[in-house]
A and B are shown apart, each in its own frame.
Chain A
Amino acid sequence: MFATKLIVSIFARYNNQRGPSAVYHLFKGKKSGQTIQDVGLFQLYPFFSITPKLTKAQYDTYIEKLFAEQFILLTDENVVVTEKGHQLIEDFRPEGFDGWHYRGREHAFFKRLALVVQTLSNAPQTMRFLPIEQDGATQRFVKQYLRHYDFQQPAFQQQFTTQLRTLLERLQLDERSKQILVYRLSGYEQSGYTWHQLEQLLKEDVLSLQLRYISCLHSLINEAQHYPLIADLTQHIRIDQLLTQSTQKTATLFYKGYSLEQIAQFRQLKISTIEDHLAEMAMNDAQFPLTQFVSIDDTAAIRTQAQTLQTTKLRAIKEQLPHVSYFQIRLVLAAKGE
């Protein structure tokens, strides 16, 4: 049910202006202009790239159920949330997500956490156990961490446990989300549970469980700073470089003073792609020189139109303001500054 509510609530944020695949691309973290721009436009940062491995087939079966249960319906190729859908999400507040800053990297944190917990859990009994994470980078990281803290000292084991428990207690999340996270961990002679096993025991579908788990990981990492033993495990997990790689290259050239055309030629990309990049930059960077592309008057006019028409559809705005280009409209809608 969690996933159902989350998806419906995101369609509600899209304000009847996007098709059925929009949420899929958002969850996958698609790096196209449209998806990235929508993130800014509809304030969907928390949900960007929360399930990079989701398959279209999985998503489609889900969406079909939502249509079948009439939480959403299709009008002019756009998804509209029904009255029933609005009721469904009335009290729903998806807490804890911070997809924009993790984009799948939270799993690397979980691997570290899992291996540390497993080692500590085994420590009083044996040092000979098969590690649950076989990934070399994780193993090296954890080995160093454990050595640094002299993990066989009971004092460390206690502190670690206390910090993890207190941190989990503090998180503003459902008990169930925490329970899922903890059941994915393994210890001395007790292995973690598979998604399918949790699905059966908790009677909630796998996607919902996975989304809860992600929200729990995100908030765990975000709140870890006052818990140094946990915070140490979050090193280099958060992404603070927010532009996609390709956009970053364009940005570097742009701030060196090259024109759009020059950048396109130099990078062997289409102008429209470079425009996507600029829109992404406008969205992420409060310092973006919007006035270089759109006059202050036009900016104001576009914003006014967007508000009065209650739309973010480029064409509708363009019809009212024939003299501005689509690119200008996109930039204005993407830009953060008021």
Chain B
Amino acid sequence: MKILTLNFLTCARKLCKSSNTAFPLHPQDAELEIVEQDMNVEFLRNILPRLMWEELSGVVGELGLPALPPTVPTLESLTEKKLKAAENDPTGMNVVEVEVPSQVALDLHRLLLETCVKEGKLVCGSCGHEYQVREGIANFLLPGHLV
């Protein structure tokens, strides 16, 4: 499960619906893995305004990952302009300006889309329910009496 998903997932129990501690769930005994994905700046641009940055920082801390900057990066900071040799130019003299993902975007991509919880559990801060994660799949099936 991607760290991105942890920024949206809540406890599934009805009694936690209106609680403000049922999000984010807290990873425990988590084993992380990196699963490489193609860089997609457009997706980052779409999702960035929807992130809850403080909660993301909290989870990153709980997982023992390097701390995030205190505020959410701006959309502008996701790309930067770079000079590149023009295509089909045998002289190599001509350069064009291209937009490429910035280091900020590469770091966000690494954290949100490539860093995954492989094993462990996710614990609700409100009811204490533990959702097991096995091979990256979280079990959100609730026994009837907990629905």
Say whether A associates with B.
Answer: no
The residues of A with any CB-CB pair to B shorter than 8 Å are none
